Amino acid sequence: MNKIGLIIGREFNERVRKKSFIITTILMPVLMIALMAAPALIMSFSQGDEKQIGVIDASNLIGDRLQSDETMHFEQLDMSLEEARRARTDLFAILYIAPDILDNPKGVQLYANSSTSLTLEAGICGQIEEVLEEEKLKRYDITNLQEILDEISTSVSMQTFRNDKSQETTNEAQSSIVATAIGYILAFVLYMFLLIYGSMVMQSVIEEKNNRVLEVMVSSVKPFDLMMGKILGVGSVAVLQVIIWGVLILGMGTLVVPHLMPDEVMASATAIEQGAAIEGADLDPEMLQAIAAMTDTGYLMKIFVSMILFVFGGFLLYAAMFAAVGSAVDNVQDASQLQTPITLPIILGLLMMLAVINDPTSKLAFWFSVIPFTSPIVMMARIPYDIPTWEIVLSLVVLYASFVALVWFAAKIYRVGIFMYGKKPTLKELWKWMRYN
């Protein structure tokens, strides 16, 4: 154990003292926020140039009521469709509306002089649909119809409570939007950790094997102890990073956020956390539940304790396989083929996470959060929905038990592979190595 401790300390210190670790630890939360905001920013800055669209309205119902915006500018044309198609090639497109459009909604044609986009076509169809609906409503001859529609238009905000959690005491508020956002972020972080830190173990083994360092080290330490020390050392770096993020977020939630928010908002957030209904019409329940989650120390502690356990367990499972692959090859290029079966379950877990957040209590969600190769990612997507504790415990037990079983096979590959040079083994040969006594 002393030798394993030395290896763990060496691997830990080597990575923690690097500037890249400090920079990554600080910038990763910023990058995660940027990734979440990127789609909205891309959409806002990718509107494209304004498209000039000529309109020929044979029905005399729609043309004058089409609204131009920053993406489309409508110009009414007083000519036939054939003349416009030949003479107005300077326009982006010619929009033709048939005379019987009210009874034949398919009587709309767009003649574009270059490629169009789905967004542009949907925008044109949406405006035409609104005009046609207004015209059809006029047939009912209702006075002040628009004013009536505006008056009866109602937006409903619903508060959700966990009735199965606390019937005798206060109700427990739950926000599906907040849980979905947190689950998505946590699952994506697990995905990045498994790939980045798992590959880090593999690259470290390959580098030491090429430098012949392993041959010196195995003269004084067993190959199994060497592999375990390397795995646990790199894993401790990942856990440290999660702990740092957890401390920062807990500090922000308990010390900073309450002082930044108005007293009325914090009072309402505290009330909704305790199960009270919101009385102020100008307060958004989802926003208040998000603030309540950010300032709930118990909730945040549960999230980060689970995060540490699944990061460490998932890393141990995959790092053992990455270490075995790294020992079996001489360079990263040769490792690409052998690591494909390892990375596929990680990608599958991320894909399943997208389906699981639609129904976190389904049988599909349960089983993929128990299967050890996908459980770290899928379970972290489910935990914000406050699933039963026994499911989390079961997932952790299966995950760590699977690591114990898998590390035994990985060690057999490792002890043979670190002495093999100049040949990339096949999967069949790796299977033979695992069967050696």
Residue 46 pLDDT greater than 80, yes or no: no
The average pLDDT across 186-196 equals: 86
If one compares 422 and 276, the residue with the highest pLDDT of the two is: 422
Q: Choose from 191-195, 266-270, 331-335 the range with maximum mean pLDDT.
A: 191-195
Model confidence at 397, pLDDT cuts 50, 70, 90, reads: very high
Q: What is the pLDDT of residues 288-306, one digit of tens each?
A: 666 666 667 777 788 888 8
Least confident of 200-214, 304-318, 373-387: 200-214
Q: Which pLDDT value is given to residue 10? A: 79
CA distances from 233 to 19, 304, 316, 328, 376 (A): 18, 20, 11, 21, 20
Residue 253 pLDDT greater than 70, yes or no: no
Q: Which pLDDT value is given to residue 394? A: 94
Q: Which pLDDT value is given to residue 171? A: 44
Backbone angles phi, psi at 54, to 5 degrees: -85, 140
Q: What is the pTM of this model?
A: 0.68
Model confidence at 168, pLDDT cuts 50, 70, 90, reads: very low
CA–CA distance, 139 with 61 (Å, rounded to integer): 14
Residue 65 pLDDT greater than 60, yes or no: yes
CA–CA distance, 102 with 111 (Å, rounded to integer): 21
Model confidence at 169, pLDDT cuts 50, 70, 90, reads: very low
Q: What is the pLDDT of residues 325-375, one digit of tens each?
A: 877 777 777 777 778 888 899 999 888 888 888 888 888 889 999 999 999
If one compares 366 and 275, the residue with the highest pLDDT of the two is: 366
Q: Which pLDDT value is given to residue 281? A: 45
Q: What is the pLDDT of residues 176-185, one digit of tens each?
A: 777 787 888 8
If one compares 416 and 232, the residue with the highest pLDDT of the two is: 232
Model confidence at 33, pLDDT cuts 50, 70, 90, reads: low
Q: Which pLDDT value is given to residue 401? A: 92
Backbone angles phi, psi at 83, to 5 degrees: -65, -40
Model confidence at 277, pLDDT cuts 50, 70, 90, reads: low
CA distances from 174 to 12, 145, 171, 177 (A): 39, 39, 10, 9
Q: Which pLDDT value is given to residue 76? A: 92
Q: Which pLDDT value is given to residue 284? A: 62
CA–CA distance, 209 with 188 (Å, rounded to integer): 32
What token pair was written down for 220?
């004084």
Tell me the sheet residues that pair with 52: 73
Q: Which pLDDT value is given to residue 293? A: 67
Q: Which pLDDT value is given to residue 372? A: 92
Phi-psi region of 426 (alpha: psi -120 to 50; beta: other; left: phi over 0): beta
The average pLDDT across 56-70 equals: 88
